[in-house]
A and B are shown apart, each in its own frame.
Chain A
Amino acid sequence: MGKEKGATKRNFLKGIVNENPLLVSILGTCPALATTKSVEAAIGMGLLFTIVLVCSNVLVSLLRKLISEEIRTPAYIVIIATFVTIVKMLTNAFLPELYSTLGVFISLIVVNCIVLGRAEAYASKNGVFDSFIDALGMGAGYTLAIMLMALFREILGTGAFAFGKIFTFIPYFKLQIIPVGYEISIFQNPAGAFIVFATILAVIAFIKNRKTELKTIKEREEKIRKQQEAKALAAQGGNK
């Protein structure tokens, strides 16, 4: 394929920045709010989610010419559900702590709009390699976004940053950031999840607004300068 250089990289990065599934498209909010009590759980969720997304995207892309138009959605759902079941059983066998922490939310990856959305919007129309990269980028973007949420919730809610509770193969360590007794435990509660998510979205909206504002200001200045130049030119012409 004679594709321009950097297309793959752009394909990967779009999932992280411009088309971030959670922060820009606002998809897959249920696990993002439910599994972000600790950074570790968020990493686990993001990892499982990425595995399912990559596998189903690749398989959908491989089968895209075989699956007829009418039964598309049920077929995709069955593919996704199969991979979710595989991932669920593997997690149960090898990372039982993660399995019990995430609970029903592993099964709920099936109905995560992002997975079905990517299968529908991207993998059913593009080649295997492109779909693989797309899924990888989307998965990474989602994981980073929920890690960001979990970081705020864990540090503000428990006052410390702990690691090794769920991934037991890592030695346990705990970093106390806010002194004991000053933590804001509401951030560990559901209400805190909503507040953190709202604040992150508001900051993104603020940055976007600021960018468009700066752009319009620049455009206006450019326009005024051009007008002035034109006026000066006209004045010179009049003098002659």
Chain B
Amino acid sequence: MSVFISFILAIISSMLIDNVVLSRFYGICPFLGVSRKVKSSLGMGIAVVFVIVLATVICWPLYNYVLVPAGIAFMDTVAYILVIASLVQLVGLFIKKYSPSLYKSLGIYLPLITTNCAVLGVAQSNTDQGLNFLQSLANGVGTSIGFLLIIVTFSCIRTRLESANTPKAFKGLPIALITAAIMAIAFMGLQGLFSGIIV
């Protein structure tokens, strides 16, 4: 039971307290690039959840059961990026075959995920920190759901911002970044959420 609880806590902590975008700075490019419309940000977020969870599930065994026994642990970055790139292709093909409607809405975002640092960042930091499989999975799930949460929230705010009367120099990206800053301050308030629970 305690394993289960710590698994859930790890998911929530990497989702909210250590949010990918707002405190670890992974995936800022899609965060700024694909957040103009709520619908497209939702598509991007779901595609990222897909790929991150799958990449975590594949990369962890790959590192611990293939690269380390073979004595080529230093090849981790190359191996991960190949796994991620082919995974993105594969997921794309799979979705295209079994759910054309989902493919229609996710299709254009899938290639973009290869260069989303969140995916490689999660895989890399899992093995860099020496997490076990369950912890890695919790990190992957929490991070990707945190990304989905933030990008959708942010796009909702951004659609409102479009019509807001901002100073001319701040139009577009600068005001979006200020918004992100305010969101980051809000998320700072969640720090220490579990300080009483995790001993």
Binding site for B on A (CB under 8 A): 26-31, 33-34, 73-74, 77-78, 81-82, 84-85, 88-89, 103-104, 107-108, 110-113, 116, 186, 189-195, 197-199, 201-203, 205-206, 209
Contacts and interface: CB of A to CB of B under 8 A. Distances in A.
Given A108-B124, A206-B169, A85 B78 contact: yes
A35 to B, nearest CB: 9
Given A78-B82, A199-B174, A26 B27 contact: no
Contacts of A104: 121, 124-125, 128
B169 A111 contact: no
4 nearest A-B residue pairs (beta carbon): A198-B177, A194-B181, A206-B169, A34-B25
B159 interface: no
Given A30-B117, A82-B78, A194 B169 contact: no
Given A29-B29, A198-B174, 7 more contacts: A30-B26, A81-B77, A85-B74, A107-B120, A107-B121, A116-B115, A195-B177
Contacts, number: 122
A186 B171 CA distance: 24
B116 interface: yes
B114 interface: yes
25 contacts: A26-B32, A26-B173, A29-B32, A30-B29, A30-B117, A34-B24, A73-B85, A81-B78, A81-B81, A88-B77, A103-B128, A104-B124, A107-B124, A111-B114, A190-B184, A191-B184, A194-B177, A195-B181, A198-B173, A198-B178, A201-B174, A201-B177, A202-B174, A203-B169, A205-B174
Contact of B117 (A111, A116, A193): A111
B115 A205 contact: no
B115 to A, nearest CB: 5
B75 interface: yes
Contacts of A85: 74-75, 77-78
Interface string B15-57: 0000000111111110010000000000000000000000000
B67 interface: no
Nearest to A77: B81
B78 A29 contact: no
A108 B120 contact: yes
B97 interface: no
A33 B28 contact: yes
Given A84-B77, A195-B178, A33 B25 contact: yes
B128 A202 contact: no
Given A104-B128, A205-B171, A190 B177 contact: no
A199 B78 CA distance: 36
B115 A111 contact: yes
B90 interface: no
B156 interface: no
B160 interface: no
Nearest to B77: A107
Contact of B173 (A82, A107, A195, A201): A201
Contacts of A108: 26, 117, 120-121, 124
Contacts of B115: 111, 113, 116
Contacts of B121: 104, 107-108
A156 to B, nearest CB: 14
A106 B124 CA distance: 10
A191 B185 contact: yes
Contact of A205 (B32, B116, B128, B170): B170
Contacts of A82: 78
B77 A74 contact: no
